[in-house]
Chain A
Amino acid sequence: GAVVSQHPSRVICKSGTSVKIECRSLDFQATTMFWYRQFPKQSLMLMATSNEGSKATYEQGVEKDKFLINHASLTLSTLTVTSAHPEDSSFYICSARDSDRGSGNTIYFGEGSWLTVV
């Protein structure tokens, strides 16, 4: 079963409104989570690294005031798209690292969220 749960899977919002996407680690504590954005038929681009208890680290070119990230607990990170516009329509997907596992595949992805801004 899924070890990282992302919600909602699909959301439609009106232009100018804000929408929140949640990413939860179910079986482990994640001090670090990652948010990616993916346009159709393209690669995943890292937006930001979500750090529990501290500010997120944003990649170059990502507007931190537009994409608000909060990592208030060891199992939950949220991405809020503020004042959404149609160009923000995209697939957003999170991942989390199980830091208790020393090596190998320690990264787990959520199911992803399709955002459509109308």
Chain B
Amino acid sequence: AQKITQTQPGMFVQEKEAVTLDCTYDTSDPSYGLFWYKQPSSGEMIFLIYQGSYDQQNATEGRYSLNFQKARKSANLVISASQLGDSAMYFCAMRPSAHGSGNTGKLIFGQGTTLQVKP
């Protein structure tokens, strides 16, 4: 079965420090995509970073990087130099079959991690 697991319901980090949010996934598809989204209290889903299963390098987007360990089926999000505005809920998600006709765009979400940045 395809599944995303986020084992940290809540995390605290000191402002300006780095934090890692954990995500593991389960799929038998050889091709898939992994996403991280930030959801502030307003509810909107803000796209942070994407990693394709065949990508050779870990994805980076500004202060966000994805630590992709394919053999361990983990896709942890690293936020460097945390800011107060980073306080939000973070979701890891998987899209089965990143390429080809099976790419419908349906996402499977993890349970989410609430991050609080302390001043």
A24 contacts which chain B residues (CB < 8 A)? none
From B13-21, B67-75, B98-106, give the one contacting chain A: B98-106
Among the stretches A12-20, A67-75, A76-84, A104-112, the one at the interface with B is A104-112
- B112 with A109: CB separation less than 8 A: no
Provide 13 A-B residue pairs closer than 8 Å at the C-beta atoms, listed in order of the A residue. Answer: A34-B106, A42-B111, A43-B109, A43-B110, A46-B107, A46-B108, A49-B104, A93-B45, A95-B105, A105-B33, A106-B103, A107-B35, A114-B43
Q: Which residues of B contact A (CB under 8 A)?
A: 33, 35, 37, 43-45, 47, 50, 52, 89, 91, 95, 98-99, 103-112, 114
Structural contact, B45 and A109, CB atoms closer than 8 A: yes
Least Cβ–Cβ distance between B72 and chain A, in angstroms:
22
Residues of B within 8 A of A43 (CB): 91, 109-112
Q: Do the beta carbons of A44 and B105 come within 8 Å of each other?
A: no
Chain A residues near B108 (CB-CB < 8 A):
46
B44 contact set on A, CB distance < 8 A? 109, 111-112
Would you give the shortest CB distance from A61 to chain B, in whole angstroms?
15
Query: Chain B: which residue is nearest A107 at the CB level?
Result: B105
Which residues of B are found within 8 Å of A95, using beta-carbon distances? 45, 105, 107
Task: Establish whether residues B107 and A107, one from each chain, have CB atoms under 8 Å apart when the complex forms.
Answer: yes
- Say yes or no: is A103 at the interface (Cβ < 8 Å to chain B): yes
Min CB distance B27 to A, Å, is 16
